[in-house]
A and B are shown apart, each in its own frame.
Chain A
């Protein structure tokens, strides 16, 4: 799937999407990001130097990619808290294949396949056996994390073969993770808005019974969402694994919280039925920009987390106020 064909296919959609953006949560996020760039950039111009902007986008691209799948899961009325463990496991599998002489393409694609299998299993339990997704993914979190430690004991994977480092490629001067982040966000946003399958996610998350009456199978939709989520987690894990020259083969601490935060700050309603993946991607960038900017303004690192938490709260409240004002105007 080339980026060029993607861009062609979605150029009309993109225009429409841009119009809708104005006044939405996406706009607020965009303004927040711009405000941070402006304010911190005027305090320290190095903040908006190309190098730093690139690392802000680059460092959290895998979070944004995983947040796309997570957003779909949340919009469908579910959640997956095993995502951080799954990324850790998939990255380890990918690295292990690569150092054991398998073709690089296998090392890149295997995590996608295994990711889909794991989330497919969870999706089956959720969709067809009616188990709450939070229970399934809580259990899966333990299984994946314990299993990873049992198998690897935390041995680092190094001596990765040349050419494996997908995330360090720079086609047309732009780092690969940014291509993935932008391309997948546009593709997913277009798909969710303009295809029947994509729209059914909102229908199921908004009101499963109504969706059923209008001919959508909530089970199939939820199953589909989990499968797609697995694909995005797989891609995110490859970006994660190939970013550095070594792979840690542990579960990254709190990664599931970062990904879920990106989704909900991006305006995805936890009650299901609303939100866009453009919002979640912008939110992932915003979180990275906040993290970087607080170092630039010489904030005492002891207060860093408090400020981060407060800023997340402000973003969420701003979104709620905007929605309420809109509701009043109607």
Chain B
């Protein structure tokens, strides 16, 4: 029986080694839409009819006090603590909104559904969500719409018809371009790089990797992708994985992409502890606080991220506009308090703006 077990292990090994890679590991298979190669290129806006859903029999809430519940992917991590902070800021500013954040303690589709379900039963005026899975979350969101509850997503989308609006922090292809351009600027057009991501099943990360691949093939064809490793949302594991990549490729590896706010600082730490600052570039998505030491030490030149506080703020503003009837199908922009007017794209998405690049000169202005 040891033989059988060993054979099974061997077969898995062979299956694993025989895998042909025509796309980068961790990328998804949905259609990609790379932006133009020149600096500042944006997508040509093709008008698209409203494709979101609508609540049935929604109460007239215009100007009235509303109660919202926000269910992020999980609670207890810095990123969603920052979006929560933004939501509270918006609620305070508006004065007629109560918003509470609650959710699962692990990024688990089942737990998130249970939470949403409970809040539908409890009876709220609006639900805000960041989906762990765009399809799995759809039935429960449709149930909410069916009971006249307004539904607005942020950070991670669901199927469009399961919610009214989605506040998009940055378009996937915009992130792809920013990341790859930043990397190319640091390691040159023929540099090799590797990616540290959370898990391959996380939809946002998979989308970004797919867009990065498409953009790199279009605009930086000589850059070489080496491999992608998974590191959960675990900072020590991310550090170990990044270190292993540095050890494996030696001088060949010129850059590391961190796809999460955990992987990026951990990769920077790995480069710092291996004393490769300046030799291996780290580019990635991260929150400023976690990156300050590495940016200050000149080990990381640029960090790509939208401001999650603004994202949460915008989500509540959009929800208020929906409840007041100010944001309706066919609108082209929406008023969002201190953020000014935000454009509507892709039918039913509110775009927060271009991703922000933090660098040594401005990182100290942010605290989240």
Binding site for B on A (CB under 8 A): 44, 46-47, 49, 51-52, 55, 59-60, 62, 145-146, 148-149, 152-156, 158-159, 168, 240, 243-246, 248, 250, 252-254, 288, 291-292, 295-304, 306-307, 310-311, 313-314, 317-318, 321
B293 contact set on A, CB distance < 8 A: 158-159, 245-246
Q: Is the CB of B13 within 8 A of A292?
A: no
A311 contact set on B, CB distance < 8 A: 9
Look across to chain A and name the residue whose beta carbon is closest to the beta carbon of B232.
A253
Q: Is the CB of A52 within 8 A of B290?
A: no
Chain B 290-330: CB-based contact to A (< 8 A → 1; otherwise 0): 10111000000000000000000000000000000000000
Chain B 277-292: CB-based contact to A (< 8 A → 1; otherwise 0): 0000000000101101
Look across to chain A and name the residue whose beta carbon is closest to the beta carbon of B85.
A153
- B37 located at the interface, meaning its Cβ lies under 8 Å from any Cβ of chain A in the complex: no
Look across to chain B and name the residue whose beta carbon is closest to the beta carbon of A294.
B16
Report which residue of B76, B106, B234, B249 has the largest number of chain A beta carbons within 10 angstroms of its beta carbon.
B76
Shortest CB-to-CB span from A117 to chain B, Å, is 23
Shortest CB-to-CB span from B366 to chain A, Å, is 13
Interface magnitude class on chain B: 35 or more
Shortest CB-to-CB span from A200 to chain B, Å, is 35
- B241 located at the interface, meaning its Cβ lies under 8 Å from any Cβ of chain A in the complex: yes
- B349 located at the interface, meaning its Cβ lies under 8 Å from any Cβ of chain A in the complex: no
Shortest CB-to-CB span from A289 to chain B, Å, is 11
Interchain Cβ contacts within 8 Å, total number: 152
Q: Is the CB of A301 within 8 A of B230?
A: yes
Pairs A–B under 8 Å by Cβ, sample size 22: A60-B240, A149-B76, A149-B105, A153-B76, A155-B78, A156-B287, A159-B292, A244-B269, A246-B265, A246-B290, A248-B262, A252-B234, A253-B233, A253-B234, A296-B248, A300-B19, A302-B200, A310-B5, A314-B5, A314-B9, A318-B2, A321-B2
Shortest CB-to-CB span from B7 to chain A, Å, is 10
A295 to B25 alpha-carbon distance, docked (Å) = 13
Contacts A52-B247, A244-B266, A248-B262 known; A304 to B233 CB distance under 8 Å? no
Contacts A59-B240, A149-B105 known; A156 to B12 CB distance under 8 Å? no
A193 to B244 alpha-carbon distance, docked (Å) = 36
Look across to chain B and name the residue whose beta carbon is closest to the beta carbon of A62.
B236
Shortest CB-to-CB span from A243 to chain B, Å, is 6
Contacts A246-B235, A253-B232, A310-B5 known; A152 to B76 CB distance under 8 Å? yes
Shortest CB-to-CB span from B316 to chain A, Å, is 18
B105 contact set on A, CB distance < 8 A: 145-146, 149
Q: Is the CB of A55 within 8 A of B234?
A: no
Q: Is the CB of A52 within 8 A of B244?
A: yes
A250 to B238 alpha-carbon distance, docked (Å) = 14
Q: Is the CB of A46 within 8 A of B273?
A: no
Q: Is the CB of B19 within 8 A of A154?
A: no
- B17 located at the interface, meaning its Cβ lies under 8 Å from any Cβ of chain A in the complex: yes
Q: Is the CB of B76 within 8 A of A299?
A: no
A302 to B272 alpha-carbon distance, docked (Å) = 29
List which B71-99 residues lie within 8 A (CB) of chain A.
75-78, 80-81, 84
Q: Which 8 A-B pairs have the closest CB atoms?
A: A303-B16, A310-B9, A149-B76, A300-B19, A52-B247, A59-B240, A154-B77, A154-B76
- B58 located at the interface, meaning its Cβ lies under 8 Å from any Cβ of chain A in the complex: no
Q: Is the CB of A149 within 8 A of B75?
A: yes
Contacts A158-B289, A300-B19, A311-B9 known; A168 to B78 CB distance under 8 Å? no
Look across to chain A and name the residue whose beta carbon is closest to the beta carbon of B81.
A153
A245 contact set on B, CB distance < 8 A: 265, 269, 272, 293-294
B76 contact set on A, CB distance < 8 A: 148-149, 152-154, 250
